[in-house]
Structure 1
Amino acid sequence: MKTDGAGSSSFDGSSVRVLELFSGIGGMCMASQRAGFGSVVSAIDINPVANQVFSHSHHPAKGVLKARNINSLAPRDFADVDALLMSPPCQPFSRNGNRLDLSDPRTEPLSQVTELLRTAETIPKMILLENVKGFESSDACSCLKEVLKSRGYSLQEFLLSPNQVGIPNSRLRYFLLAKTAVFSFQHSASIFLELPVKSAVPATDLPRLKDFLGEAFDRANSDLSLRLKSKDVERYLPVLDIVTGDCRRSCCFTKSYGHFLEGTGSIVSLNVDEPRPALRFFSPEEVALLMGFPPEFSFPESVTRKQRYRLLGNSVNVVLVAELLKLF
Structure 2
Amino acid sequence: MDLIDPSADDDPTLRLETATAERFARALDIADRQASQAVTACFASSYGKSIVRSGSYLRLPPAQGPHPLRRFSPTEVARLPGFPADYHWSHIQPGKPERLTLTNRVRAQRLQWKLLGNSLSIPVVRHVLQHLPMINDFRQ
Give your verdict on TM over 0.5. Answer: yes
Provide, for residues 1-55 of structure 1, a one-character-per-residue CA deviation record: whole Å limited to 9, x for no partner. Answer: xxxxxxxxxxxxxxxxxxxxxxxxxxxxxxxxxxxxxxxxxxxxxxxxxxxxxxx
2:48 corresponds in structure 1 to 258
Higher RCO (C-alpha under 8 Å, 6+ residues apart): 2
Q: What fraction of aligned residue pairs are identical, expressed as a percent?
A: 34
- Which residue in the other structure is 1:323 paired with? 127
Between Structure 1 and Structure 2, the one with more strand by share is 1
Describe the superposition over 1:171-208 as per-residue Cα deviations: whole angstroms up to 9, x where unpaired.
xxxxxxxxxxxxxxxxxxxxxxxxxxxxxxxxxxxxxx
Is the Cα contact below 8 Å between 2:31 and 2:58 reproduced in 1? yes
Encode CA deviations 1:214-273: one digit per residue, 9 max, x unaligned.
Answer: xx521211222210123311211121011111332111100000111111111011136x
Q: Deviations over 1:300-328 (max 9, x none)?
A: 21471111000001421333212145446
What are the superposed Cα offsets for residues 276-295 of structure 1, whole Å, 9 maximum, x if unpaired?
76110000000000021010
- 2:70 is matched with 280
Structure 2 matches for 1:200-211, cutoff 5 A? none
Inter-partner Cα distance in structure 1 for 2:7 and 2:29: 21
Cα-to-partner distance string for 1:125-182 (whole Å, 9 max, x where unaligned):
xxxxxxxxxxxxxxxxxxxxxxxxxxxxxxxxxxxxxxxxxxxxxxxxxxxxxxxxxx
TM-score by length of 1: 0.32
Q: TM-score, normalised by structure 2?
A: 0.70
Query: For the Cα contact (< 8 Å) 1:269–1:277, is it kept in 2?
Result: no
Match of 2:24 in 1: 236
Stretches of structure 1 that go unaligned for 5 or more consecutive residues are 1-210
Work out whether residues 271 and 277 of structure 1, in 8 Å CA contact, stay in contact via their aligned partners in 2. no
Q: Superposed, which structure 2 residues align to 1:185-200 within 5 Å?
A: none
Q: 2-side partners of 1:277 and 1:225: how far apart?
A: 12
Find the aligned partners of 1:304 and 1:281 in 2 and give their Cα distance. 14
> Aligned with 2:7: secondary structure?
helix
In the alignment, which residue of structure 2 is the partner of 1:289? 79
The superposition leaves residues 60-88 of structure 1 with CA deviations (integer Å, 9 ceiling, x where unpaired) of xxxxxxxxxxxxxxxxxxxxxxxxxxxxx
CA distance in 1, matches of 2:67, 2:19: 13
**Runs of 4+ in structure 1 displaced over 3 angstroms?**
324-328
Q: Which amino acid aligns with 2:117?
A: G
State the AA in 1 paired with 2:9. N
CA distance in 1: counterparts of 2:45 and 2:52, whole angstroms: 12
Q: Which of the residues 264, 268, 277 maps onto 2:58? A: 268
Structure 2 equivalent of residue 307 of structure 1: 111
Report how many aligned residue pairs link the two structures: 114
Q: Deviations over 1:84-118 (max 9, x none)?
A: xxxxxxxxxxxxxxxxxxxxxxxxxxxxxxxxxxx
In the alignment, structure 2 segments of 5+ residues that lack a partner are 95-106
Please give the alpha-carbon distance, in whole angstroms, between the structure 1 residues aligned to 2:84 and 2:108.
20
Which structure's CA Rg is the greater one? 1
Counterpart of 1:286, as a letter, is: E
Q: Secondary structure at the match of 2:58?
A: strand
| 1:246 corresponds to | 34
Q: Which amino acid aligns with 2:115?
A: L
Change (3 A) 1:307 1:277: closer
CA contact (8 A) 2:15 2:67 kept: no
